[in-house]
Amino acid sequence: MREASTPIVAVSSGPTTGTDWLMKLPAICTRVLRMSAASQGVRVIREAERRRGGASTVSPLARFHAKGMPKAGGLRMRIVTTVPQEDLHQVANAARKAEVDGFTGLVTLENRNDPFLAHAVASIATDRIELGTAVAIAFARSPMVVANASWDLHIASRGRFVLGLGPQIRAHNERRFSVPWSAPVPRLREYVHALRAIWRCWETGEKLNFEGEYYRFTLMTPNFVPPSRHLPMVPITLAAVGPYSLRLAGEVADGARLHPFCTRKYLEEAVLPRLAEGIMKSGRAQENFEITGGGFIATGKDAEAVSKAVEWVRMRVAFYGSTPAYWPVLAAHGLEDLGRELNALSRQGKWDAMTTRITDDVVRLFAAVGTHDEIAVRIADRFGGLVDTVYASVSSTMPSDMPLETVAAVKRIPVAFKAYATGW
């Protein structure tokens, strides 16, 4: 199976605006609005190779830096990595290294460790890099508790903290966190509004009088109000998988964190149209909404390292593919039978056999694959024009080893996102 081709979108030269297209055809408009010069840059490179009668002998990384790389208003792709949450003694050095290597951000997970604690270390060890949770489990905590932790990290980092939240599934809420389950989309909507009401109370002095179906916050005496710091409000990004959660993220959040079990085709046809519907409802500009993730990156310094990364992705694709909730992604490629086979094997505990069912072609549907010299072009081909930020790592035990020049090349890929609109 060849790599996904770069989508070509015809844009009218007439007076029709992006918003007009969005109101008429959300799916088409999304591609128009998010179509960046990144994918055009890949076409420029490949067209030049075609005219020469074959691929250049210059490395893909060098070609990516060529003067022919189109510009897009100075808006560039962001790339984030993880920190070793399992050992807080390693966090400061890892965070400083990521900052020196040029990564845009550091993210923490809520798997084996608390997602906030490592950022307390990273916030005072770094000066520029963005810090975020990807993601913290919302319903396991009161919005007041999350508001406090986020506020403290935002202050410690001088405005660099981004709160990523997710609802998790029912089984984890009830059996792992022992909290009651309720409809996640309306509850998460209310959760976001509650957080902002609390922060406005602290920063602007607005009376706290939040009463909703799930949460009620009406008590905030001076003893519990932290001092105003004159920083922007903490940005909130939401994990989003299904159509309702995607619309919610577009409507109420500052960004969406997409699941890595996602393909370019599924992004274009299922994910971005739903986000666009939410953004349209919110009335915000798309340049103020960040889309993160939506696939894996398998890279390394040489072929052997790439092979190891590919095997890790193969394992994750097999695991996620066995879950019926993710089968719509497989269905977009006519792979429904693969999902059913993986599910049957998982019920038998045949985890190794599951991995063997994931071919290299399937891996490349879900991941950008290549050595450090190649990966920037592969990322542009896989994610360009669709997302604003990519995860160089999605595991706290495997932070990215991308060198400075590779990170810089990825950051040259133009995107739609400009900045969060998080004023008071």
CA–CA distance, 183 with 188 (Å, rounded to integer): 9
Backbone dihedral angles phi then psi of residue 50, each to the nearest 5 degrees: -60, -40
> Omega into 225 within 30° of 0, i.e. cis?
no
Can you state the percent helix, strand and coil of the chain, rounding each to 5? 50, 10, 40
**pLDDT (0 to 100) of residue 70:** 31
Burial class (CB in 10 A: 0-12, 13-18, 19+), 113: middle
CATH of the domain spanning 18-301+372-410, picked from 3.30.450.190, 3.20.20.30, 1.10.3720.10, 3.10.20.600: 3.20.20.30
* Residue 384 predicted with pLDDT over 70: yes
Q: Which residues contact 181 (CB under 8 A, 6 or more apart)?
A: 139, 170, 173, 174
Q: What are 59-89's pLDDT values in tens digits? A: 333 322 333 333 344 489 999 999 999 999 9
Pairing of strands 216-217, 210-211: antiparallel
Q: What is the pLDDT of residue 273?
A: 98
∠ CA 255-120-210, nearest 5°, is 55
**At residue 332, does pLDDT exceed 50?**
yes
Band the pLDDT of 6: cuts 50, 70, 90: very low
pTM, to two decimals: 0.84
Sequence spans of domains, the chain: 18-301+372-410
Residue 309 has pLDDT above 50, yes or no: yes
DSSP letter (8 states) at residue 71: P
Rg value, the chain, Cα: 22
Q: Which residue in this structure is represented by tokens 């009620």?
A: 216
Cis peptide bond upstream of 135, omega within 30: yes
β-pairing, 210-211 vs 161-166, is unpaired
For residue 8, how many other CB atoms are within 10 A of its CB?
Answer: 10
Residue type, 137: I
Measured between alpha carbons, how far is 23 from 155 in angstroms, rounded to an integer? 39
Give yes or no for residue 235 having a pLDDT over 50: yes
pLDDT tens per residue, range 118-138: 999 999 999 999 999 999 999
Q: Rounded to whole angstroms, how far apart are CA atoms 407 and 363? A: 22
pLDDT of amino acid 333: 98
